[in-house]
Amino acid sequence: MKIIITGAAGFVGAHLSAELIRNGHTVIGIDNFNNYYSKDLKRERIKALLGDCAGLVEECNIQDYSSMETIFQKFKPEVVINLAAQAGVRLPETQFEKYYESNIDGFIVVANLVRKFNVPTFLYASSSSVYGNSKNLPFNESDFSIRPISVYGNTKLFNELHSNVFFNDNSTKAIGMRFFTVYGPWGRPDMAYFRILESLVNESSFTKFGDGQLKRDFTYISDTVESIVRLITRSQSDLSRSNEIFNIGGGNPVSLNELIAGLEKVTSLKIKLIQGNASKADVDITFADYGKLERYIEFKPKIDVIEGSKNLFDWVKNLEKTKLSNWVKL
């Protein structure tokens, strides 16, 4: 199949592009290579994961309707996967417009083009952030009382609501993917697990925001990618064409303190901690109910945080210390 992936130089996008190419699909990647973290690191990522196919990732802003339309017209995709977004929940109020520009304006451009070119299948990244501080655990897709507590989470909920209205004629199979905390090799350098690994490998300090009791449902990158690939395959035979939302998470929340203890055990190293203040945008817990996903694609995430942490540390050990420092430096 011919597949367009936005955010293709990102963590999930690059791994997914590589897997789909290995599976024989024709992929065109789109990324604006923004400066949320180093552009050089993003280019290093796609070079490592895509090899000779790295040139398939075109530099383009998804808000640029004309340029995006040209790509759609030329490529005529059968599947579009929108992973492009302003990530994270910690941007200061003075930079909130970045969330709106990418996560709402850009999303609307992609959705409009999906409909204009009659693309049969549209998958898009949502987030566990839409659940906010819901007390209904584990988080279930049928819970309609959710209230995000971050601007980022609000933009992702908008994507879901917009898709539900925009694709209600069933001409396109629209699937929202509520990602939980995805981790693994070549991941986002602003995430806690990379900062912890930096402190371990380089014997530097790690700033722990809050008391370390916040829990996250860590989901290994290979499980995330496998889930997306299966969603693409399953959607081709799903004649209902209705809009769907799926949690993509491991179903096993782990606190930051537990993560630190686990990494110390795996590496036989000790972390130097500095206490920091928690962010108001941080939720208390993320906890995925993956039952709907498992029933639909006959797969559930299977790599737990201990095995995943070991895999990640083995990858880190194969990098030069200076390269790791550059990778995690924003």
DSSP-assigned letter for residue 6 = E
Is the Cα torsion angle 113, 76, 34, 180 positive or negative in sign? positive
**Coil, strand or helix: which one is 92?**
coil
| SS3 per residue for 183-218 | ECCCCCCCCHHHHHHHHHHCCCEEEEECCCCCEECE
Q: Which of 152, 183, 220, 290 is catalytic?
A: 152
Reply yes or no on whether 152 is catalytic: yes
Do 160 and 245 form a contact (C-beta atoms < 8 A)? yes
Asked, as a colleague might, if the bond just before 138 is cis with ω within 30 of 0, I would say yes
Percent helix, strand and coil across the chain, each to the nearest 5: 45, 20, 35
Amino acid identity at 56: L
Chain CA centroid to CA 307, Å: 20
DSSP-assigned letter for residue 53 = G
**Coil, strand or helix: which one is 140?**
coil
Q: Tokens 């559930």 identify what position?
A: 300
Amino acid identity at 170: N
Rg, C-alpha atoms of the chain: 19
Number of other residues whose CB lies within 10 A of the CB of residue 2: 14
As given in the structure block, the two tokens for residue 155 are: 């933009």
Polymer length in residues for the chain: 330
DSSP-assigned letter for residue 37 = S
Amino acid identity at 93: E
Task: State how far the Cα of 26 lies from the Cα of 78, in Å rounded to an integer.
Answer: 10
As annotated, the active-site residues are 152
